[in-house]
Structure 1
Amino acid sequence: MAAIAPRRLTKELKELTMGECPAGVQLLQSADFETWVLSLEVLGESLYKGEVFALRFRFEPQYPIASPEVTFIVDDKFKAPIHPHVYSNGHICASILGHEWSPVLGVASVCITLQSMLASCKKRERPPDNDRYVRTAPASPKKSRFHYDDDTV
């Protein structure tokens, strides 16, 4: 790993474990600087009230210059939220995870953005191309070419 990723991740991990985790977010796993798992709950009144989701963050050696790969975990314990920007395989269509990524962003700010995205949702539905995308999607959503055209859901 390049020298910057471990330094940055050490700083973020310390913040997350020392009580600076955003409300509704909990660090579940951080055994290394490659993969972290966090729980995410939307606070307040929303379509997702009372539901808890899990996010997997995968970090490249170029982090924070390169965005992390962030997906909702889909397994026996967790499901991806039904949302117009979340595919049933857990991939997330969010511009901050793609072309609008900035090194000033971090794990906490991604979690807050996803909480906000879920909290503002007006209708539970999958993206219109969910079935096709899930059948043909690359393993990493970072290799997908999402079209970011709707931030109003």
Structure 2
Amino acid sequence: MGSISARRLAKEYKELNSDECPVGIKLLQADDFETWIIAIEVLGETLYKDEKFALKFRFDPQYPISSPAVQFVVDEKYQAPLHPHVYSNGHICASILGEGWSPVLSVPAVCVTLQSMLASCKKKERPEGNDRYVRFAPDNPKKTKFMYDDDTV
């Protein structure tokens, strides 16, 4: 991991373990600067009230110049939320995770943005073509070239 990347991730790790951490976000696992697991909860009266999700962040040595690979964890404990921009394998179609990424964004900022995306959801449903996408999707969501709508995060 490059020194810029390591310094940046150390700073973000510290924020996630402090009183500065946004409400509804909790770092679950960060054994290294390659993969982090973060719990997120959508607050308030939303379609996702009382539901908890986990996000997996994978960082490459070019972070924060390059975006992290971010997806919802899908395992025996967690499921991907039913949402028009979230595939059942946990991949997220959100521009900030792809072409809309900026190095000024941080792990907590991405979590807050995804909380907001879920909070504004009006109907729990999978994206069109979910089954086909999941069948052929790469392991790393960054290798998918999503087409973004104007209302996409």
Give TM class, smaller chain: over 0.9
Q: TM-score, normalised by structure 2?
A: 0.97
Name the CA distance, whole Å, in 1 between partners of 2:22 and 2:129: 32
Task: Give ranges in structure 1 of 5+ residues lacking alignment.
Answer: none
Aligned amino acid, residue 89 of structure 2: N
Deviations 1:66-110 (A, max 9, x none): 000000000000000000000000000000000010000000000
CA change 1:150–1:84 in 2 (3 A) is: farther
The structural deviation recorded for 1:152 is 6.5
Identity of aligned residues (%): 70
Aligned amino acid, residue 104 of structure 2: V
| Residue matched to 2:22 | 22
| Residue matched to 2:130 | 130
Deviations 1:44-86 (A, max 9, x none): 0100000000000000100000000000000000000000000
| Residue matched to 1:37 | 37
Name the CA distance, whole Å, in 2 between partners of 1:90 and 1:152: 16
1:1-153 → structure 2 map (5 Å cutoff): 1-151=1-151
Instruction: Kindly report the root-mean-square deviation, in angstroms, between the aligned alpha carbons of the 2 structures.
Output: 1.1
Task: Give ranges in structure 2 of 5+ residues lacking alignment.
Answer: none
Aligned residue pairs, count: 153
Aligned amino acid, residue 56 of structure 1: K
Structure 1 segments of 4+ aligned residues over 3 angstroms from their partners: none
Aligned amino acid, residue 49 of structure 1: K
Name the CA distance, whole Å, in 2 between partners of 1:64 and 1:112: 17
Q: TM-score, normalised by structure 1?
A: 0.97
SS of the equivalent of 1:26 reads strand
Aligned amino acid, residue 32 of structure 2: D
Name the CA distance, whole Å, in 1 between partners of 2:41 and 2:63: 25
The structural deviation recorded for 1:15 is 1.0
